[in-house]
């Protein structure tokens, strides 16, 4: 991944917690916020992956790496306790951790349904609940939830994922109104099909089930985007960085579609 080239200090003095930070969109967000001057807590389930990312960032940009499953409310509380003990409570939260799995509704098991809700929706809730008190005490905060175009429209064969991402957008709107007078904004970004490991898994699934080539499968996903291309992680990171910046102070409760016009 090419490091972000921004070198301003818009976020100097601010600390960001990024979930699902180790790869893809999360890693791109970490690189961009570090370039904008923020200190980072990198959160994810795979500590070595987080540490490998941290090694590519300036030393002053990394507050620490924490192995945490956001679906586990107790683990999230423990992570925030560790941040408090370190004296570096985040005033920026990027809820990026997520999973995607597909199945027709009739073959969507209870386990799959609960897994999609637990990681994508409950995980965002757990982290929001843990992060808000410090932001409220400081009178300033930024929350960006990484949702999906699946939260703005429907897609077949991903009912559980789509329901969870719709929930993330509803959560965004509700909390934005709760804290609107407290110097805190809460927004969502909604990427379309993006060049990540999740997309590569989707491509492999299409190839395995339909017999299409990898190129044909990738093209089928790109066709959802009116620009006929896949979104790049850095494009999502740039939108997140803007939402965290002073320039976006009047924007809250919004869901920005990063999809080349797929959702208008």
Question: Residues with catalytic annotation?
Answer: 161
Those residues whose C-beta lies under 8 Å from the C-beta of residue 110, and which sit 6 or more positions away, are none
Please, what is the Cα angle at 212 between 208 and 214, to 5 degrees? Answer: 85
**Rounded Cα–Cα distance for residues 107 and 12 (Å):** 49
Residue pair 21/27 in contact by the 8 Å Cβ criterion: yes
Residue pair 70/128 in contact by the 8 Å Cβ criterion: no
**Rounded Cα–Cα distance for residues 159 and 109 (Å):** 11
- Locate 194 and state its tokens: 């993006």
DSSP letter for 62, please.
E
- Within 13 Å, how many C-alpha atoms sit on residue 201's CB side? 8
**Rounded Cα–Cα distance for residues 232 and 23 (Å):** 13
Helix axes 24-35, 233-244, angle to 10 degrees: 50
Residue pair 69/45 in contact by the 8 Å Cβ criterion: yes
Helix, strand or coil, per DSSP, at residue 15: strand
Parallel, antiparallel or unpaired: strands 15-19 and 39-44: parallel
């Amino acid at each position: 991944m090419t490091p972000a080239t921004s070198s301003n200090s818009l976020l100097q003095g601010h600390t960001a917690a990024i979930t699902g930070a180790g790869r893809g969109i999360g890693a791109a967000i970490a690189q961009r916020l570090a370039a904008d001057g923020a200190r980072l807590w990198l959160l994810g389930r795979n500590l070595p992956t987080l540490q490998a990312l941290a090694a590519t960032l300036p030393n002053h940009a990394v507050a620490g790496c924490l192995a945490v499953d956001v679906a586990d409310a107790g683990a999230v509380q423990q992570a925030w306790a560790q941040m408090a003990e370190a004296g570096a409570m985040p005033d920026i939260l990027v809820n990026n951790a997520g999973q995607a799995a597909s199945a027709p509704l009739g073959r969507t098991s209870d386990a799959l349904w609960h897994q999609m809700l637990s990681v994508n929706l409950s995980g965002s809730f757990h982290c929001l609940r843990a992060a808000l008190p410090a932001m409220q005490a400081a009178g300033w905060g930024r929350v960006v939830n990484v949702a999906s175009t699946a939260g703005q429209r429907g897609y077949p064969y991903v009912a559980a994922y789509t329901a969870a991402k719709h929930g993330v957008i509803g959560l965004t709107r509700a909390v934005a109104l709760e804290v609107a007078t407290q110097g805190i904004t809460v927004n969502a970004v909604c990427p379309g099909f993006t060049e990540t490991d999740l997309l590569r898994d989707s491509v492999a699934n299409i190839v395995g089930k339909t017999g299409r080539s990898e190129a044909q499968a990738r093209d089928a996903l790109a066709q959802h985007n009116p620009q006929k291309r896949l979104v790049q992680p850095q494009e999502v990171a740039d939108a997140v960085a803007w939402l965290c910046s002073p320039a976006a102070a009047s924007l809250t409760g919004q869901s920005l579609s990063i999809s080349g016009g797929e959702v208008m």
